[in-house]
């Protein structure tokens, strides 16, 4: 990999190319051999569902129902391929764009949007899904992930050889995040403590407007070398390769062999968020090139070419996706903020006089306000 830039497609692990052809890989091929057509149809379904949800969320934002939306458009293979390589005991730390991984962890998809509607800062119970809440402060969660992984190790959940018990952590972040001190510190801690963690970099080529070339002059996976962490670069739009590579990496971590860095080269097909305007910093030729590498299309082409995407199956999936969109829309529109008084809850686990005083003041203030209106 020496001498190539951070956007090079050279040396990427790939098992299904963008024309829908299977590619051989001596090392990682075996990690995908177990996949049946049912499995691949399942990946395809997961990606369709994720995209349907994502598309619905974008249009809800456009209609003013959400304050903001952070789309996963184009990154479905990276997210589903890796998410489906996780086992129940594994724990995932997302950043804020991993709606596909959320889907694989059984998160109620519409509930993700409560945060983006401004109702609360998180919705699901992380422990119930082994899926942490989203983190907006770039890179902060990578350190939490390492600590969690170390603690899993102490608790005997790593390297016992029992597949029902052994687990590891997977931590997702973007190419921009790799520049943060926290992320580099996380890799130091993971390496020296041999923590059971897989750092999963979704290199979608942009940190808002900045190309990954502003973050690195070499492929991001190469960073790992300096920390003493094995790493692999994978075609992030190839769900089969992502799956194979993540299976290998998670097994490595679960067995007690230590951390791994995966860099999945993908492309953010949409804007950074609904507030962003990508026309200011990238060309439509670039977008077209990557649209042709749509991660969903290549599985579809592959399966269809082999007659493995029966019409009735496809129709059923499209109907499910439509239904998810409908359920999402109805849920979001039905959510109203609860009483303001609830915002004073959970600042501390134990009573705190300042919070109590503010809460009491607010209650009294609201009451006096209503009285005034009544007497007026």
Partner 1 sequence: MTAPTHEQVSSDRLAPEGLAPVRTLTLGAAINAGLRAAMDRDPKVVLMGEDIGALGGVFRVTDGLLKDFGERRVMDTPLAESGIVGTAIGMAFRGYRPVLEIQFDGFIFPAFDQITTSLAKLHYRTKGKLTVPLVIRVPYAGHIGAIEHHSESPEALFAHTAGLRIVSPATPQDGYDMIQQSIASPDPVLFFEPKARYWDKGEVDSTRVASQLDLADGASKATAEMSKARVAREGTDVTLMAYGPTVRLAMQAAVAAAEGGVSVEVLDLRSISPFDYETILASVKKTGRGVVVHEAPVAYGTGGELAAHVAEHAFFHLHAPVLRVGGFHMPYPGSKFEHDYLPSLDRVLDAVDKVMAH
Is 91 annotated as catalytic? no
Farthest CA pair distance, the chain: 81
Per CB under 8 A, does 186 bind partner 1? no
CB of 116 to partner 1, least distance (A): 7
Q: Which does 97 bind (CB under 5 to 8 A by kind): partner 1, ligand TPP, none?
A: ligand TPP
Q: Which of 268, 293, 298, 329 is catalytic?
A: 268
Residue closer to partner 1, measured from CB, 113 or 152 = 113
Residue closer to ligand TPP, measured from CB, 136 or 151 = 136
Per CB under 8 A, does 106 bind partner 1? no
Residue closer to ligand TPP, measured from CB, 55 or 179 = 179
Restricted to residues 188-227, the positions that interact with partner 1 (CB under 8 A) are 207-210, 214-215
Stretch near ligand TPP under the rule CB under 6 A, chosen from 31-39, 170-178, 294-302, 364-372: 170-178
Cα radius of gyration rounded to whole Å, the chain? 22
Restricted to residues 78-107, the positions that interact with ligand TPP (CB under 6 A) are 97
From residue 132 to residue 171, the character string flagging contacts with partner 1 as x (rule: CB under 8 A) and all else as - is ----xxx---------------------------------
Angle made by CA atoms 194, 196, 197, in degrees to the nearest 5: 110
Report the distance separating Cα 296 and Cα 102, nearest Å. Answer: 18
From residue 189 to residue 218, the character string flagging contacts with ligand TPP as x (rule: CB under 6 A) and all else as - is ---------------x-xxx----------
Q: Which does 322 bind (CB under 5 to 8 A by kind): partner 1, ligand TPP, none?
A: none
Q: What is the DSSP letter of 22?
A: B
Report the distance separating Cα 26 and Cα 333, nearest Å. Answer: 50
| Cα distances (angstroms) measured from residue 278 to each of 189, 214, 286 | 36, 16, 11
Is 289 annotated as catalytic? no
Cα 99 vs. chain centroid, distance in angstroms? 6
| Cα distances (angstroms) measured from residue 308 to each of 1, 300, 303, 334 | 36, 9, 5, 39
Per CB under 8 A, does 376 bind partner 1? no
Tell me the residue ranges of DSSP E strands in 166-271.
Answer: 169-174, 197-203, 206-207, 210-211, 231-235, 260-265
Per CB under 8 A, does 365 bind partner 1? yes
Report the distance separating Cα 20 and Cα 4, nearest Å. Answer: 26
Strand pairing partners for 173?
201
Is 99 annotated as catalytic? no
- Asked if 296 contacts 51 with a C-beta cutoff of 8 angstroms, the reply is yes
| Cα distances (angstroms) measured from residue 301 to each of 53, 56, 68, 74 | 22, 24, 33, 16
CB of 271 to partner 1, least distance (A): 8
Report the distance separating Cα 206 and Cα 41, nearest Å. Answer: 30
**276, 290, 303, 329: which one contacts partner 1 (CB under 8 A)?**
276
Cα dihedral 186, 76, 245, 159, rounded to 10, equals: 60
Quick one: residue 346, left, alpha or beta (phi over 0 = left, psi -120 to 50 = alpha)?
left
**49, 77, 138, 190: which one contacts ligand TPP (CB under 6 A)?**
138
Per CB under 6 A, does 142 bind ligand TPP? no
Both tokens assigned to 100: 């596909």
Q: Which of 45, 223, 272, 298 is catalytic?
A: 272
Stretch near ligand TPP under the rule CB under 6 A, chosen from 59-67, 85-93, 122-130, 131-139: 131-139
CB of 185 to ligand TPP, least distance (A): 14
Q: Which does 206 bind (CB under 5 to 8 A by kind): partner 1, ligand TPP, none?
A: ligand TPP
- Asked if 116 contacts 67 with a C-beta cutoff of 8 angstroms, the reply is yes
Q: Which does 318 bind (CB under 5 to 8 A by kind): partner 1, ligand TPP, none?
A: none
Q: Which does 260 bind (CB under 5 to 8 A by kind): partner 1, ligand TPP, none?
A: none
Residues that bind ligand TPP (CB under 6 A): 97, 136-138, 173-177, 204, 206-208, 268, 272
Q: Which residues are catalytic?
A: 268, 272, 281
């Amino acid at each position: 990999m020496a001498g190539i830039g951070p956007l090079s497609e050279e040396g990427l692990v790939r098992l299904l190319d963008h024309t829908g052809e299977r590619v051989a890989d001596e090392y990682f091929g075996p990690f995908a051999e177990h996949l049946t057509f049912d499995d691949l149809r399942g990946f395809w379904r997961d990606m369709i569902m994720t995209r349907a949800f994502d598309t619905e969320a974008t249009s809800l934002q456009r209609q003013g129902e959400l304050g903001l939306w952070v789309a996963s458009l184009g990154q479905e293979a990276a997210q589903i391929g890796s998410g489906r390589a996780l086992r129940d005991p594994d724990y995932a730390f997302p950043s804020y764009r991993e709606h596909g991984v959320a889907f694989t962890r059984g998160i109620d998809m519409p509930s993700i949007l409560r945060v983006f509607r401004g109702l609360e800062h998180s919705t699901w119970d992380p422990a119930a899904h082994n899926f942490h809440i989203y983190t907006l402060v770039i890179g902060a969660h990578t350190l939490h992930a390492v600590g969690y992984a170390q603690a899993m190790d102490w608790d005997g959940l790593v390297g016992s050889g029992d597949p029902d018990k052994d687990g590891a952590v997977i931590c997702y972040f973007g190419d921009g995040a790799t520049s943060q001190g926290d992320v580099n510190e996380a890799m130091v801690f993971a390496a020296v403590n041999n923590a059971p963690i897989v750092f999963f970099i979704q290199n979608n080529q942009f940190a808002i407007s900045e190309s990954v070339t502003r973050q690195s002059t070499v492929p991001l996976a190469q960073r790992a070398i300096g920390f003493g962490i094995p790493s692999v670069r994978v075609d992030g739009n190839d769900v089969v390769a992502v799956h194979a590579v993540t299976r290998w990496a998670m097994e490595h971590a679960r067995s007690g062999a230590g951390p791994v860095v995966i860099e999945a080269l993908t492309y953010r097909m949409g804007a950074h968020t609904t507030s962003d305007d990508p026309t200011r910093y990238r060309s439509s030729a670039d977008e077209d090139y990557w649209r042709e590498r749509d991660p969903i299309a290549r599985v579809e082409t592959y399966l269809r070419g082999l007659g493995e995407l029966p019409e009735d199956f496809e129709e059923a999936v499209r109907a499910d996706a439509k239904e998810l969109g409908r359920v999402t829309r109805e849920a979001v529109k039905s959510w109203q903020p609860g009483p303001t008084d609830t915002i004073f809850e959970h600042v501390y686990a134990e009573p705190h006089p300042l919070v109590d005083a503010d809460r009491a003041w607010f209650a009294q203030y609201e009451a006096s306000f209503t009285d005034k209106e009544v007497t007026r």
